[in-house]
Amino acid sequence: MSTARAAAILLGKELRLEFRTRELLNATVVFAIVVVVLFSFAFNPTPDESRHYGPGLLWIAFLFSGSLMLHPSFARERSNDTLDALRMAPVSGFAILLGKMLANFIFLSLAEVVLVPVFAVLYDVSLAGIVGRLVLVLVLGSIGIIVTGTVFSAISAHARMRELLLPLLMLPILAPLLIAAVEATSALFSRRPYLDQTWAAFLAGFDIVFLTASWLLCDFLMEE
């Protein structure tokens, strides 16, 4: 079976599992909204202030919800002993990882689709005219969060205190992504919005580096 087909089947399985209850997605969205609301108490959300701090807080919310959301990705397989079944399936390790990454990407994107309009309303940021470019930045940033996060979720699933360990592993690694994503989003939220190509390219580079690394190292992640 080709990697793409195997990954697609696994993606279908992940989606079915999640949409049966939507537990993870609901919790993630609510958590992200809580972060955004709490931040409004930390500073006074006038339009100028929002332009200044908004992108940072938006990405912090994505990063934190990502680090919470990614934890069950492998921990669930482990506690149900289904990881061994996956390993025994005649598919490559990368297909398993890719299926998980795609599913997580969809979950995070859905959370973002809910959160960005809420953010725009609460912080008085106009999205008119920048939606396409904003989606590009969000996609590039989310890929980076998901790729490293899914790999680290596979790592932390085998450790003690794994709920705490995953953010600990993931957040420092994502620091460069946070900087680039915040700068790119700031450029879009400024009075004369533009797509900062340096930062967009940096985000793409980040994604490529870690996607390649996870492709090269996935067999070590999956072994018994």
Partner 1 sequence: MKSRIIGSAFAAALIIFAGYAALYIAPVDMRQGQIYRIFFFHLAAWVSTFTALTIVFVSNISYLATRRQRWDSLGVAAAEVGVACCTIGLITGPLWAKPVWGIWWTWDARLTTTFLMWLLYVSYLMLRGLMEDPRRRATLSAVFGIFAFLDVPLVYMSNRLFPTQHPQPVFFGGPNSGVDPTMAKVIVLCMIAVLVIMIPVLIDRYKVEGMRAEVEELRQEVELRTSQPAGTHLDAPARTVNVKEVL
Site residues (CB under 8 A) for partner 1? 148, 151-152, 155-156, 158-162, 165, 168-169, 172-173, 175-176, 179-180, 183, 198, 202, 205-206, 209-210, 213, 217, 220-221, 223
CB of 216 to partner 1, least distance (A): 9
CB of 60 to partner 1, least distance (A): 16
Q: Closer CB to partner 1, residue 127 or residue 155? A: 155
CB of 137 to partner 1, least distance (A): 15
Alpha-carbon torsion (177, 219, 106, 167), positive or negative: negative
Residue position matching structure tokens 């990368």: 94
Q: Closer CB to partner 1, residue 39 or residue 210? A: 210
CB of 27 to partner 1, least distance (A): 24
Question: What is the four-CA torsion angle of 8, 10, 15, 21, rounded to 10 degrees?
Answer: 170
Q: Closer CB to partner 1, residue 132 or residue 172? A: 172
For residue 14, give every residue at least 6 positions away whose Cβ sits within 8 Å of its Cβ, in sequence order, or none.
99, 100, 102, 103
Q: Using an 8 Å Cβ cutoff, are 136 and 203 in contact? A: no
CA 156, CA 161: separation in Å to the nearest integer? Answer: 8
CB of 158 to partner 1, least distance (A): 6
Q: Closer CB to partner 1, residue 113 or residue 164? A: 164
67 C-beta neighbours (distance < 10 Å), count: 21
